[in-house]
Amino acid sequence: MTDTVEITRDAPLSASLQALTETYPDAPAAELRRFADARPNSQEDALALYAKYLAWREADGSAAALAEAAAPLGGTISEGFASLGPKTAGDRVLLVEGARYDSAFDHAAYVALLCSHMDAACAAADDSRVVVVVDCRPCRGWPSPAGWSFLPLLRAILGTAPDCYPERLRTVVVFPVPYWAAMIMNTVTALLDPVTRDKIALVAGDTDVDTPCPAGVWDHVAADALPPRARCRRPP
């Protein structure tokens, strides 16, 4: 049976959650809570956001559509570019190895791949969150593109993820981040709402090939949540 929201005296519903619950009584309670929390000050905005999400799920966000969109990447790129690790402190870890990014592929394929991983990490009816670890270290044998090459991909991700996966993100850990890359990230994240922007942690570190993770990464994620190749970068 689908989890539903019950109204109790001890836990009154917010106006946004009340509106969502009345409009979508059969929807998962955890999912409705996330969308209500994303738009706590406006019932209309919460309803519009959820309606947009449902329309996306019926079209580009369906499992079949996401798989088809990500298919051009092939198995090797898909498996390496983004991979799910075990839970750490109750959150699922999604490792993204940026050096595998190849701009020859449409950025929409990468967005679809990341959405598929988000769906695999979190069921609609649970409250789990995701820690996204973005490893930007170059590696021999990988495309290792320049920082500016990521901008179209970042914009595409920001155009989908916040509205389709509200309140799913615990932290985004980006490393290693030299001065020039921090400037790029600050430009991109300026488009985000303050709550989401505060979840992004930039960790400085050595950007040479085949370097270990900077120590600051372990302030955000347990070492055993990342595969050995990510703890100390080595060619595949």
pTM of the complete model: 0.84
Dihedral (Cα; 128, 232, 71, 106), 10-degree rounding: 100
User: Which string of DSSP letters, residue by residue, matches the chain?
Assistant: --------SSSPPPHHHHHHHHH-TTS-HHHHHHHHHHSTT-HHHHHHHHHHHHHHHHTTTSHHHHHHHHGGGHHHHHHHHEEEEEEETTEEEEEEEGGG--TTS-HHHHHHHHHHHHHHH--TTS---EEEEEE----TTS----GGGGHHHHHHHHTTHHHHSTT-EEEEEEE---HHHHHHHHHHHTTS-HHHHTTEEE-----STT-BPPGGGGGTS-GGGS-HHHHB----
List the chain domain ranges: 15-58, 73-231
- Put the strands of the sheet holding 130-135 in their side by side order: 82-88, 91-97, 130-135, 169-175, 200-202
Surface-to-core class of residue 217, CB atoms within 10 Å of its CB (0-12 exposed, 13-18 middle, 19+ buried): buried
Contact 131, 88 (CB under 8 A): yes
Higher pLDDT among residues 161 and 236, named by residue: 161
- Tens of pLDDT, residue by residue over 15-69, are 999 999 999 999 999 999 999 999 999 999 999 999 999 999 999 999 999 999 9
Query: Alpha-carbon distance 208 to 94, whole Å?
Result: 23
Q: What Cα–Cα distance (Å) separates residue 68 from each residue in 54, 95, 179?
A: 19, 22, 37
Q: How confident is the model at residue 7 (pLDDT cuts 50, 70, 90)?
A: very low
- Tens of pLDDT, residue by residue over 201-220, are 889 888 887 788 888 999 99
**Mean pLDDT confidence for 132-156:** 83
214 CB neighbour count, 10 Å cutoff: 16
Q: Output the pLDDT for position 19.
A: 97
Q: How confident is the model at residue 142 (pLDDT cuts 50, 70, 90)?
A: confident
Q: Output the pLDDT for position 11.
A: 56
Assign domain 73-231 one CATH number from 2.40.110.10, 3.40.50.300, 3.40.525.10, 3.30.1370.60: 3.40.525.10
Angle at 154 between CA 86 and CA 32, to 5 degrees: 60
